[in-house]
Structure 1
Amino acid sequence: MRKFSPEYLRRTRDGMWTGSRDALRDLSLSDRNRVLDVGCGTGELSRVLDAESPGDVVGVDADTELLAVARRETGLGAVAGDATRLPFVDDAFDLVVCQALLVNLPRPTDALASFSRVSSDLVAAVEPDNAAVSVDSTVSAEVALERSVREAYIEGVRTDVALGDRLPDLFREAGLRDVRTRRHFHRKVTEPPYDELDVRVAARKADGSGLATHEAELRRTLSDSAYDALRRDWRQMGKAVVEQMQDERYRRAEVVPFDVVVGRVPDRL
């Protein structure tokens, strides 16, 4: 399981559901009594679940640092636990859901089996299709470089980070029935006035530290010389981003498609 910083989760998840929540319709949140958010991280989805459901919402995550942030910022219950061996009794919840978790697990069906055990009714997953991400930027080099990095990363990472339309099949393999799916597009825009996080992200592009977080995955598919060239071009692109931000000319838009898949737990024997 990859480790994520609170800053990374805020940057990638913040604002995801501030617009339409129509893609969450099949979760029947208004009818839920007890909801579990698996891999809750810093609690971005937990807050949405709590706002939309009259029931109790509990988060679980293997990272205690993220859990501390979730407890502090959401006020909801949050416990430490492994997604594939959830520390709850059978049928403890009537909805078990995760967001951007299965793409980071080597065997996502193990997690789905665990979800099914502790749910009496529904299991849901909100997962990105990272192969279908689109980027537009006023720094033209950023678009091509991000595409190259994404393709190399997807090839080098050891989990399926581009589940896409394969996710419903995983639900059926886990024994879930009445599987339904909707697609949600998360659009993230960077434009003036820039906030502190925007500035830090730009600085990490310019010094190469942002790219370095994926170095292990990229080096599995790139030669040393190709990686070094990519890093050089990436840092140069980052400097152009910083320069445009100083003049308040920089704008970037990224659209990440998410598949929202919901399945029903079969009747217990």
Structure 2
Amino acid sequence: MLDVGSGTGALTRVLRAEAAGDVVAVDADPKLLDHVEGPTVVGDAFRLPFPEDTFDLVICQALLINLPEPVDALREFARVSRDGVAVIEPDNGSVTVDSTVGGESALAGQAREHYLAGVDTDVTLGSDAESILADAGLDSIEVTRYDHDRTISPPYDEADVESARRKASGDGLATDRETMLDGGLTADGYDSLRQRWRQMGRDVIEQMAERTYERTETVPFYVAVGQV
């Protein structure tokens, strides 16, 4: 199997533990591959450094949402596969947040809407996985949806505390400022959103101090498998 865009190897390790056969990790960033045990290969998803029909299965996870031409990448996956291509991709436009802090769900939705409007790739394509695989020439396509829940609840760990700190400081929102402005949000609109975001963060910290804060973010993922 070939794991394209493996990053630091999260999916690669799962495949090696759960599936029979060898799993090769490929990524364009050699520094990320430093975190993955071999075999690893530095390579571009649009120009994979392998001959035709090298692998039984070519797979990626949360890669296509970051590519400007995902169908072209899938055609390249099909070129080096002699059997199947599988993708695991989210629909980031359908993420939901359930929180004990009033207003967090609505603010998260507003921030996501502005961010998505400014992104130049299709970060919602998970729900269109079937049509994208079909456009790449794959057959016998099967799609399954599953919802991934990210939950924060007592006892809180360091990552939970850091997330709350970034909300209260506005640092987390600030990293996406330019993307939001590219999506049509005005500077005044961003400042207003950030002010409300920081207050929400302070409310989160207050509830965390009382051990009452709970938050669940649900991200829909689509697993699509097609035959070459």
Q: TM-score, normalised by structure 1?
A: 0.81
Q: Which residue of 2 aligns with 1:65?
A: 31
Q: Is 1:90 paired with 2:61?
A: no
Q: Which amino acid aligns with 1:54?
A: A
Q: Which amino acid aligns with 1:171?
A: L
Q: C-alpha distance in 2, partners of 1:66/1:213?
A: 22
SS in 2 for 1:225: helix
Q: Is 1:167 paired with 2:129?
A: yes
Q: Which residue of 2 aligns with 1:192?
A: 154
Q: Which amino acid aligns with 1:138?
A: T
Q: Is this contact kept in 1: 2:27–2:41, CA < 8 A?
A: yes
SS in 2 for 1:140: coil
Q: Cα deviation per residue 1:121-153 (whole Å; 9 max; x = unaligned)?
A: 110111101111111011112101100011111
Q: Which residue of 1 aligns with 2:93?
A: 131
Following superposition, the deviation at residue 95 of structure 1 comes to 0.6
Q: Which amino acid aligns with 2:128?
A: R
Tell me the number of residue pairs that the alignment of Structure 1 and Structure 2 aligns.
227
Following superposition, the deviation at residue 88 of structure 1 comes to 1.7
Q: C-alpha distance in 1, partners of 2:224/2:31?
A: 28
Q: Is this contact kept in 1: 2:90–2:127, CA < 8 A?
A: no
User: Structure 1: which 5+ runs fail to align?
Assistant: 1-34
Q: Which residue of 1 aligns with 2:65?
A: 103
Q: Which amino acid aligns with 1:177?
A: D
Q: C-alpha distance in 2, partners of 1:95/1:111?
A: 14
Q: C-alpha distance in 2, partners of 1:163/1:228?
A: 30
SS in 2 for 1:56: coil
Q: C-alpha distance in 2, partners of 1:61/1:231?
A: 35
Following superposition, the deviation at residue 64 of structure 1 comes to 2.7
Q: Which amino acid aligns with 1:122?
A: G
Q: Which residue of 2 aligns with 1:182?
A: 144
Q: Is 1:252 paired with 2:215?
A: yes
Q: C-alpha distance in 2, partners of 1:117/1:156?
A: 32
Q: Is 1:37 paired with 2:3?
A: yes
Following superposition, the deviation at residue 224 of structure 1 comes to 0.7
Following superposition, the deviation at residue 76 of structure 1 comes to 4.2
Q: C-alpha distance in 2, partners of 1:114/1:213?
A: 33
Q: Is this contact kept in 1: 2:99–2:216, CA < 8 A?
A: yes
Q: Which residue of 2 aligns with 1:25?
A: none
Q: C-alpha distance in 2, partners of 1:59/1:245?
A: 39
| Aligned counterparts, 1:222-233, within 5 A | 222-233=185-196
SS in 1 for 2:166: helix
Q: C-alpha distance in 1, partners of 2:20/2:38?
A: 13
| Aligned counterparts, 1:118-157, within 5 A | 118-157=80-119
Structure 1 stretches of 4+ moved >3 Å: none
Q: TM-score, normalised by structure 2?
A: 0.95
Q: Is 1:219 paired with 2:200?
A: no
Which of 228, 231, 240 in structure 1 is aligned with 2:203? 240
RMSD of equivalent CA atoms: 1.3
